[in-house]
Structure 1
């Protein structure tokens, strides 16, 4: 009797064990597709120099008027300042899209890493959140925030088309940022000299940055930022109570000298020398980062007990801004 042969079973195909979620690959995608483009769009290295204006303005106003500082105001107004700065940088790239497409196609918007729609939504979020948060701190901060936002919009839409008006608007924005911090405490007359010094400093930096895309030979104007810091500090001294100067004056002077020296170092590196765009951008970054020491000079007036913390924070911010600034452009 014939029997049918038993069918042989096919060998099973090998299937590798399923892997779990690849967190490393996901983080890499998020970093390169989201975090890095947005960091470049808001000029991340410059953000380290922004909250210090608020802290410096608040401390100086509190010292001059002998008024306590509210912790909520200090924190929330720092966030307001960061949001308004981010709003300004995003709007700047939106308005500069045609020019950046020709001259700097690697920027986040021309390279399509971030779309115009996404950037517009981000800018509106920053603006609305900043204004609302400033309103929670009172009428003065709300009005100063409105004024600062209006100046940012005017700069991006019209004023930056002309070198003088654009540089003036940028300088005033930085001075208003210092006043924004003071407005949460008080606005004494002594707050205006350092705010004006900040305005002159950033006016000059903006003027120099106008030629960052071409080779140039910087003249003596590169020394104006250092002079502005020194003169602004000297004019402000008479408004500070003598008791505060006795306790914190030396530390205040030390940070001022650090700010002046970093400005002078950056200036001498390019003064009367043929400077290509890459080195001009380094100069701009150094001048902006020097603001951290200028801000620390005023923050140390809060008292000797906080000197170590303030010093460590200032130096840490400066180092981080410098390291990140080597990878992400400040302008």
Structure 2
């Protein structure tokens, strides 16, 4: 297990749980009835795509991490660089293959998500605007991958994928300063993006007639992301910003649960919310950021 842990650390297990929540939320938005076992292909797909994406993140950051985060698996020598490359590429291809097993549409979406992850890790992440945008597109694409369980739903509800783009854009914007500290202006921009997402969820829930059920979920989400962000605004040093990033990532589960209940699938919302303790537990063992 000790030799396996560095490889697991590369895949960010706590974050992988949030990717599964994306798929379930997308299925809820599509109003899928969960009458068959086949959507498990999409769950396996997102595990491969997300896992491969974060592994490749560490691959491309290996030189920088040797200076700023020498304890990470690759710079510490616990995982050889070539092994990490092979793991990352294999996971991405696994994610594409699993999606294609469900449908051609799902497979095409998975290819786009995989390409976006490479674009982010190789080029976009170093840009203050295109970095958050590209990472947000990855997460929005993941939600659409869940919606592809019923492809006709994408035309009607695909615009909702813009909100995870804004949300992840906020987290990525914050994370750019988690090593050296940052500016309050960046944190205020992130807060505005968070507020936009929360407001949009309540608006959709109202339109669907589920506002009373959705309100507790949205308020819980606001609390989980708001407190660490406020602390970071008060003291924008690296460790405080890191906590804001961590809470933003893990709280994606609550955001996805909110989407489930906004569309009337409250049993699924509770099932998604039950993933939160698992993600928190994994976050204590494996790095999130």
**Length-normalised TM-score, structure 1:** 0.79
**2:240 counterpart of 1:279:** yes
In structure 1, C-alpha distance between the alignment counterparts of 2:37 and 2:206, rounded to whole Å? 30
Aligned to 2:169: 203
SS at match of 1:73: coil
SS at match of 1:71: coil
| 1:177 positional shift | 0.5
The answer as to whether partners of 1:193 and 1:235 remain within 8 angstroms in 2 is: no
- The alignment covers a number of residue pairs equal to 285
In structure 1, C-alpha distance between the alignment counterparts of 2:228 and 2:193, rounded to whole Å? 10
Aligned to 2:137: 172
Aligned to 2:112: 147
Q: How does 1:177-326 map to 2 (within 5 A)?
A: 177-186=142-151, 187-219=153-185, 220-237=188-205, 240=208, 245=209, 249-271=211-233, 273-300=234-261, 301=263, 303-304=265-266, 306=267, 310-311=269-270, 313-326=271-284
Aligned to 2:89: 124
The Cα offsets for residues 10-57 of structure 1, whole Å up to 9 and x where unpaired, read as xxxxxxxxxxxxxxxxxxxx2x2212x123211122112111111111
In structure 1, C-alpha distance between the alignment counterparts of 2:101 and 2:132, rounded to whole Å? 31
SS at match of 1:330: coil
The Cα offsets for residues 101-134 of structure 1, whole Å up to 9 and x where unpaired, read as 1111100000011111211221122122111111
2:76 aligns with one of 105, 108, 111? 111
The answer as to whether partners of 2:17 and 2:275 remain within 8 angstroms in 1 is: yes
| 1:298 positional shift | 2.3
SS at match of 1:49: helix
In structure 1, C-alpha distance between the alignment counterparts of 2:166 and 2:25, rounded to whole Å? 17
The answer as to whether partners of 2:170 and 2:191 remain within 8 angstroms in 1 is: no
2:125 aligns with one of 149, 156, 160? 160
Aligned to 1:13: none
| 1:256 positional shift | 2.0
Aligned to 1:12: none
SS at match of 2:38: helix
Q: Relative to structure 2, which stretch is displaced further, 202-211 or 39-48?
A: 39-48
| 1:234 positional shift | 4.1
CA RMSD of the aligned region, Å? 2.1
In structure 1, C-alpha distance between the alignment counterparts of 2:125 and 2:28, rounded to whole Å? 32
The answer as to whether partners of 2:14 and 2:286 remain within 8 angstroms in 1 is: yes
In structure 1, C-alpha distance between the alignment counterparts of 2:21 and 2:9, rounded to whole Å? 21
The answer as to whether partners of 2:135 and 2:172 remain within 8 angstroms in 1 is: yes
Unaligned runs of 5+ in 1: 1-29
The answer as to whether partners of 1:201 and 1:224 remain within 8 angstroms in 2 is: no
| 1:302 positional shift | 5.4
The answer as to whether partners of 1:140 and 1:184 remain within 8 angstroms in 2 is: no
Unaligned runs of 5+ in 2: none
Q: Relative to structure 2, which stretch is displaced further, 93-102 or 183-192?
A: 183-192
In structure 1, C-alpha distance between the alignment counterparts of 2:87 and 2:220, rounded to whole Å? 35
